[in-house]
Chains A and B, each alone.
Chain A
């Protein structure tokens, strides 16, 4: 992996920050208290479940995940299962983060 240089950092930082500030500020000032059009609100409402599912899938699945054997592929899946249980019980981002990292580290330490 090539380290990220200043130019690349600046491009990614500037573009992501600009879209972020527009998304955060524009609706508040443009709507002036009116509701969003229904179709727009509906589509926006589907973005969080779709985006979070895509991010989780991207982290957990890949076509060659079993190349190194069953166990290396099973580690993130088992750690994810632990997080699912913690998420259902606590609904806490903090506890999920801690449980996930500890489960992952412990599973990596098992020499299989």
Chain B
């Protein structure tokens, strides 16, 4: 919960800086409910990105939620439809980690998991609104508030499994963003860079004959090495 407060306040400050009011931030936090997304919107807006670029980039980053959703499908098979919907709609990077462990331990229910999500959502929403309210009062420079999210992205990036294919994805995305900015495409840079990274990693994994769960196909491996 403390994590949501520490990240939510700078997020609220940043949202406020582009003219979003407490009501807008409140609705955004409850419904959209995405740390990465809610930082990306003001950051890209300040950078002057067109709305279409903001929506496309945020939506691309949203797609990682499909993995979490698929992972929870088995435990929700027997649960009530409405409850499953409420649960699925409120999964985040952090609460996914907590609930996966609880479900593996056993004795955990979708209802309880939904409660965890609801508490997380509340503390996220409250700290965002608090950020809006204190944003004007305490003069934290925007660059400093924005760096909270940069720091979190760095942490999330370093927590990825450093398989060869993932490293390809990371390097190509990194270079892709810089190249986009150099040729004047700073609006869609995140989107183009990330898509290049994914495509490069897919090609790399296919060429290496890597199977999905890490264990490379033996004969192909011998050829490569």
Contact A41 B60 (CB under 8 A): no
In residues 120-135 of chain B, which contact A (Cβ within 8 Å)? none
CA distance in complex: A21, B73 (Å):
15
Chain A nearest CB: distance from B220 CB in Å?
A: 16
A15 vs B148: C-alpha distance when bound (angstroms) = 25
**Roughly how many angstroms separate A44 CA and B177 CA in the complex, as a whole number?**
19
Question: A42–B205 contact, CB under 8 A?
Answer: yes
Using C-beta atoms within 8 Å of the partner chain, give the interface range for chain A. 35 or more
| Residue of A25, A31, A46 most packed against chain B (CB within 10 A) | A46
B157 close to A (CB within 8 Å):
yes
Question: For chain B, what secondary structure do more than half of its interface residues adopt (helix, strand, loop), or is it mixed?
Answer: helix
| CB–CB B202/A46 < 8 A | yes
Cβ–Cβ < 8 Å partners of B51 in chain A: 8, 11-12
Determine if A93 is an interface residue (Cβ-Cβ < 8 Å). Answer: yes
Q: Are B178 and A28 in contact (CB under 8 A)?
A: no
Residue pair A56, B77 in contact (C-beta under 8 Å): no
Bound CA–CA A52/B32 (angstroms): 19
Which A residues touch B146, using CB under 8 A? 59
Tell me which residues across on chain B come within 8 A of A88, comparing CB atoms: 158
A28 and B70 within 8 A (CB): yes
Query: Using an 8 Å CB-CB cutoff, how does the interface string of B45-88 with A read, 1 for contact, 0 for none?
Result: 11010010011001111111111111011101100000011001
How many B residues touch A, CB cutoff 8 Å? 98
Q: Does the CB pair B182–A63 fall under 8 Å?
A: yes
CB-defined interface of A1-25 with B at 8 Å, one 1/0 digit per residue? 1011110110111011101110111
Contact of B7 among A5, A33, A44, A93 (CB under 8 A): A93
Contacts of A36 in B (CB 8 A): 66, 70
Q: Which residue numbers of B lie inside 8 Å of A, CB to CB?
A: 2-3, 6-7, 10, 18-20, 24, 27-28, 31-34, 36-37, 40-41, 43, 45-46, 48, 51, 54-55, 58-70, 72-74, 76-77, 84-85, 88-91, 94, 141, 143-160, 165-166, 169-178, 181-182, 186, 189-191, 193-198, 201-202, 205, 212
Residues of A at under 8 Å CB distance from B? 1, 3-6, 8-9, 11-13, 15-17, 19-21, 23-29, 31-36, 38, 41-63, 76, 79-80, 83-84, 86-88, 91-94, 96-101, 104-105, 108
